[in-house]
Structure formats: structure tokens, C-alpha cells
Structure 1
């Protein structure tokens, strides 16, 4: 072996000796816990958290592992934010609108009643300034957030009796989360907030007169058709609904840069996959529910008109006394106006014509 070969080999060995510890330091062993606000039976919403954990583990050669827990296993479904904020857990999969009791500004991350559809919401979040505003707001709660799911437009819920006019809502005990509950309260409803796994028993016992949760695919799994037959639409309080991954801010800041990138990419994948699955599954599930006795009903126009009026009246009232809400509302509402104009030009005529041709001879 000549002198140059020996020196080259020695140089490679030395480089390896330096590089290996550096590589090890950049890929530490990390173990996180992720409580979910959803039961395991909801394979799309609970499953989105599982998908995130799986992708993170695969992309880091199992160096970064996240253990996912169903609602109630280590944290109650409506207490995920508190657990992440305090550092009891490192992250959690949840819905921001569960926490409007802390501040109504939380609603913007999930959805705004009579607001944006999925594409419009994603556009506002990522290109309309929404996500930076939400992250700024959540710093006060020691949380970093990532869009990590999407249900699309939801159904209006299951009712024991028919709703023929807005007056039929008065006194109705209705499980409804988020700002939708406050709007419906103005129409005489008595709103109740329950996590997914607690809803069916309350409806079965008669503690509730009506429930809304998501759409046909999830509602079928929760069995609501067994105890309430009237299935109303649209769920105007959730034209889209985005669950999020909440990460404790200190834990997020401590992650290596590559782990941050991997976690963010995994959440983006879950955000896209979730709505694709719902769009595919809801179409089949609604047919099965009808075969099981569900009676589809559209909300009467006076219910829609009254709720729309009360919604924007409420937003104005909150904005007048809550600067954080006002700042986000102004951004959201300005973006909404522009999006509606564009969608009325291109998307609505295309969709409307296609739907009117359904069942027509070809």
C-alpha cells in the first residue's frame, strides 16, 4: 500500500470519527405522548394522530416516537389543550373550538359558522395570513399549532323530532360544540358540550334531544341512527372543521431542525388525507344510514336565515370588546369576501350545473 493510500484512509477514518458523534447528536432519541380528543372508534379523526406518529417514526428511523392515546386514557377529550399548555404531555390532537370558553378567538382555527369551506379555509390559513395570526394568539397558551386534519362540511345533526320552524328549536337540549352552540342558544337551544365518546349515552338516556358531531361516516360509527331518526343538513356552523396538533412550545423549540420539518410535513399529510377519506367514505355512509332508517331533512329557511343573522351579529359584539378576536376576524372576513367572489365566478356554476345533471339521461 503506497503512502497516499495510507494517508487517504487515515483521513477518512478521522472524518468518520468526527462525523459520527455529530450525526448522533442531530438525531436524538425522543419519546412524546399525544392524547387525542377522539375515541379509537373514530378511525379518521383518531387515526389522523396515529398517522402523524407513524410518519414521524418512519422518517427518523424510530428515533422520534410519539405514543397516541384515545380520549380519556390519560387526558379527557376536552382537556387536551390544558395538558399540552402545562407540559403534562408534549403534544395533543384536538379541536380548537372546544376551547372557546377560554377565548372565542379559538374558533378561527377550527371553523367559523357561516364561514369558509375546506379549500377557502386552507387558503386563508396558508396564504391569507390565518396561520401566523393563530400561532401568535396561541403563544399566550404556550402552544405551537399545526393544521392536521379536516372533515369538510358537516351535517346538522340528529334530532328526535322534526324541525319545521325556528320556534321548534326552543328549549331543545342539543350537543353542539364551539361557536355554533352560542349562535343556536340565541335561537332558543340549550347547548351542551360533550366529547365524542360521551354523546351516544346521553342521547340514548334522553339527556339530549339532538346531537351534532361530524358527518355520516363518523356518525354511523357512533350509532346515533338507533336513537334519533331525523338527520338534518347543512351543519352551517362547520362548513369545514380543522383539527390540529398542539405542541408544547418549549418542547417544540427544543426539537432538532430536521425533526421539526418531519413533524410539520406529517401534519400536512394528515390534513390532506383526512378530507380525502371523509369525501370518499361519507358518500357511502349516508346511503347506509338511510337504509337503517335515517330520514334526511334540510333545515327550514327561517332557521338558516335567523342563524346567519345572529352569527354575524355575535361576531360584531365580540370584536367590539376583544382585541385578539377583532384582529383575527378582520383578517378572516376580508379574505372571505374575496374568496366568495371568486368561487361564485368559477366553482359554483360548475358544481351547480353538474349536480343538476345527476340522474339525467346521457
Structure 2
């Protein structure tokens, strides 16, 4: 039977396609590229949403550098665009945005998620707890990362340490606090577990996004506010809104920021880009803390030279806060076995850190201050 012209055309087309496919396969083989490797070259674009005003000194600059590290490190295969608080989602909706896939990446702090997971704030800081180096040690070597993964994994989110604002200050106050009685009725911006402690002591704590703190403090909507340390606080203008700056920041002796990654988006990446995301977060965690330590010191010197009144919290307030802190921690761990395991692990890390610090950094600092 003689083939029709249409059959001949189809045969030639199929033959040409097979030949082209074989040629492409040979070319890829010669270049050392298999089909999965070709797929790995497909450009990806991620959105990074933050809880900070865009470019805000401290966490805002950390978020921007994190995006740049990933974009540049990937050679453009994974580009990350940063959206400040309110530009794509509100400051306190970053976790939900990442969990839902609205954004692949978030930069924020775990203390904002107490309403969703009562134990979550300890992954930023807990009152009278771990300081930055000890917190990092707990996450990286003390089992903290595995517990954090388990906690956030319920929502399809993978967390990483990604920046640290260092030891916090106690906050800016429109009036002096000379004793425990002066806290009663105080309207203060203080989220997380520290806010719960002050509530027990008679204050009225509330949580405000960073971008709203200055106006609320300046206009008297609130009587006091804490944010981070001198560098970031001055950038928000808090020194222009209240005259008294209190220390120490017993409520947050550490300022760990977190990068949240949508787990499905992360697992869709090739191995090298998944590693890049992790490495970029770790690099920014180290860089962010060094940056905060340096610029907090510079900003504090300028504040003192400019006449800002630095005051220590009265002893009776600190003692009462310390007494309340352990019960607050016990209560947030109630009712969920995972919460209990997290608190137990955190407390063990704190005990070890205190024992080591007593003969190392704290001992040296005491000697320096006494000389």
C-alpha cells in the first residue's frame, strides 16, 4: 500500500522531532546537564513580607540584606522582592501570609504569634531568659531548632534564625516610674510575655505594629512603649515622644528575628537553592547581631550626650516581675505537650548558660564595672 502525502508528512515530522530530541539530549549530555538540572535553572521569584517598615534600621535592613543575599547568591535563579509592613500584608499577618503561600518568605518575630501558639514568643525572647549568644546556642545545638520546626510545621512553615537586635532596653516612658505602684494603670506597648507580666503587675499592655508606636506615644494614646534598642528606637523617633528611657529590658534580653519560609515552596527548590536560603539566614543572623551591638552602643552615647534621661527600673518592680515570670511561662506551656517540651528545653539551656556566664562574661563585666 502506498503511503499518502499526509502520512509521509507526519512521518517526516515525527522523525525530525525524534532527531531534534536526540540532538538536544546529546547536547545536554555533553554539557553535563540532565533534565532535572535544566529544570533547576528555571528562574523563580519569591515575595518576602515583613513586620517592619521598609528599610527600618535593624530588622528592616536585615530583611533587605537577606533578600539580596539570596538573589545574588542564586545568580538570579531565585529573586526575592521585599515588602515592608502594610505594603502587601499587615505587620501582624506575616505568619499567615507565609503559611497560606501568599508570600514564600517572611521576616518577623515569634513574639507576635502568642495568640496562635502561646509558647511561640520564647523563640524571640522570654523574660529573664536567654541572651543572644545563649539563644543561638540553644537553637543551633540544644535542640531548639528541632522543636521550633515541630511547632511551626503544624502550619506548613519552616523557621530560621535570621537577625538579632540584641539585648533590649526597657522602653520609653512619658512619666517617671519610681516604684511598683507607678506601673498600675500604665498603658504600654509591650507585646509577648513581658506584656503579660506587666498586666499582672497592674499595667495595661497592648501590641502595636512598629510603624504605629511613635504616633501613639507622642499623642498620649499610650504612656510608654518598648521596641528594640537605642539604634532602632531612635530611628522610630521614640526619643522625641517621651523623655525617660528605662533599663534593663528584663522582658526581652534577646532580640531574635525569624525568617519564615513556606515549606511547600522551600521543598520545590533544587537542593542548592534550599541550602542557599539556610546559609543566607545564618549569615544574616550573625551580621544582624554584630550590627545591632555596634549601632546600639553608638546611639546610646548620642542619647546620653543629648540629654536623654536614662533610668534603671526600681528594684521592687524588677523583683515583682521576676516572681511573676516563671508562672507566666508555666501557664503558656499548659495544655499542649509540645509546649511543655519546648519550655523544658529552654529552661535547661538557661540554667546551663547562667552557670557558664557566672564564671565568664558576667564575672568579667562585674570586674570591669568595679574598676
Instruction: Mark the CA change 1:17 to 1:277 in structure 2 (over 3 Å): closer, same or farther.
Output: closer
Once residues 236 and 337 of structure 1 are traced to their aligned partners in structure 2, the CA distance between those partners, rounded to angstroms, is 17
Could you tell me which of 279, 285, 308 is aligned with 2:293?
279
Query: How many residue pairs are counted as aligned between the two chains?
Result: 347
Give distance in 2, aligned partners of 1:102 and 1:273: 30
Match of 1:7 in 2: none
Q: Deviations over 1:11-35 (max 9, x none)?
A: x967325527553322321100001
Shift of 1:300: 0.6
Partner of 1:160: 174
| Residues 62-94 of structure 1: CA deviation (Å, up to 9, x unaligned) | 110010011110111111001111111111111
Are 1:253 and 2:263 matched, yes or no? no
Which residue pairs with 1:241 in the alignment? 255
CA contact (8 A) 2:109 2:258 kept: yes
Query: What secondary structure does 2:52 align onto?
Result: coil
- Paired with 1:70 and 1:306, the residues of 2 have a C-alpha distance of 37
Deviation at 1:148, TM superposition (A): 0.2
Q: Counterparts of 1:134 and 1:96 in 2: how far apart (Å)?
A: 10
Residue 260 of structure 1 and its aligned partner are, at CA, apart by 0.6
Task: Kindly provide the CA deviation profile for residues 107-149 of structure 1, in whole angstroms up to 9, marking residues without a partner as x.
Answer: 1211111100111101111100011001101111210011001
Alignment of 1:1-362 (within 5 A): 15-16=29-30, 19=33, 21-357=35-371
TM-score, with normalisation over the residues of structure 2? 0.90
Q: Could you tell which deviates more after superposition, 21-30 or 334-343? A: 21-30
Query: Aligned partners of 1:224, 1:102: CA distance in 2, in Å?
Result: 29
Deviation of 1:178 after TM superposition, in Å, equals: 0.9
Take 1:27 and 1:237, find their aligned partners in 2: how far apart are those partners? 46
Cα distance in 2 for partners of 1:334, 1:18 equals 50
> Any unmatched runs of 5+ in structure 1?
1-11, 358-362
Rounded to whole Å, the distance in 1 between the matches of 2:338 and 2:354 is: 24
Distance 1:323 1:22, change over 3 A: closer
Q: What's the Cα RMSD here?
A: 1.6
**8 Å Cα contact 1:104-1:179 kept in structure 2:** no
5+ residue gaps in structure 2?
A: 1-25
Deviations 1:262-320 (A, max 9, x none): 01000001100111011111111012222333100000111111001101012223334
Q: Could you tell me how far apart the structure 2 residues matched to 1:32 and 1:116 are?
A: 33
